[in-house]
A and B are shown apart, each in its own frame.
Chain A
């Protein structure tokens, strides 16, 4: 399977600042990565699909100007939370799509980034 890293693993910031989260595929070139968000006691919710070399596709209700996604290379996607507010505090997780000839496409998750906005 693929090895996925995220950085930072945890960040605490003041309201109004911007936070960048990196997702790296360490041993696999990923044309597609996904960004999820999980609030306490809730399920993981897809925020956006990140495609290398093109604009990300955002899910309904996710502000693309607030959550900036850049997938400039096959091994790196970044999520920037701009002007973060306390309600943005959450667990952000990326996943890498491992596409192949099989009937299903497995995804591998990064370890997540816990964002706390004060």
Chain B
């Protein structure tokens, strides 16, 4: 079983749509959770951290369910510029990040 699993997609949505990505992780000792965004042929960049209480940053909402070892990302009012691969990432303090394979989003006009 892979440590971090994501639906690879692609998710093809029109501008303005709401889209949700899900992720599961296998290591119950994971302490930190993130969503990264990676554009084609670029390095990943932190989109947002994910907290147990859930957190929101503009059009982006992240949720964490520790009991189910499940993480989600909701994007509202999708923009063309949101087209990218979204990586679910977990780690324990001081260790390397464990990446999912990513979910590809394509937003069209």
Contact = CB atoms under 8 A, between A and B. Distances in A.
Whether both chains belong to one complex is answered with yes
Interface of A: 32, 34, 36, 41-46, 49, 91, 93, 95, 97, 99, 103-107, 109-112, 114
Q: Mostly helix, strand, loop or mixed at chain A's interface? A: strand
A43 B101 contact: yes
Contacts of B31: 103-104
Contacts of A45: 99
A113 to B, nearest CB: 10
Given A43-B99, A95-B97, A105 B42 contact: no
A26 B97 CA distance: 21
B90 to A, nearest CB: 10
Nearest to A44: B99
Interface stretch (B43-51, B54-62, B63-71, B74-82): B43-51
B32 A103 contact: yes
B32 A105 contact: yes
19 contacts: A41-B101, A43-B4, A43-B99, A43-B100, A44-B87, A44-B99, A46-B97, A93-B44, A95-B97, A97-B94, A99-B94, A103-B31, A103-B32, A104-B49, A107-B96, A107-B97, A109-B44, A110-B43, A111-B42
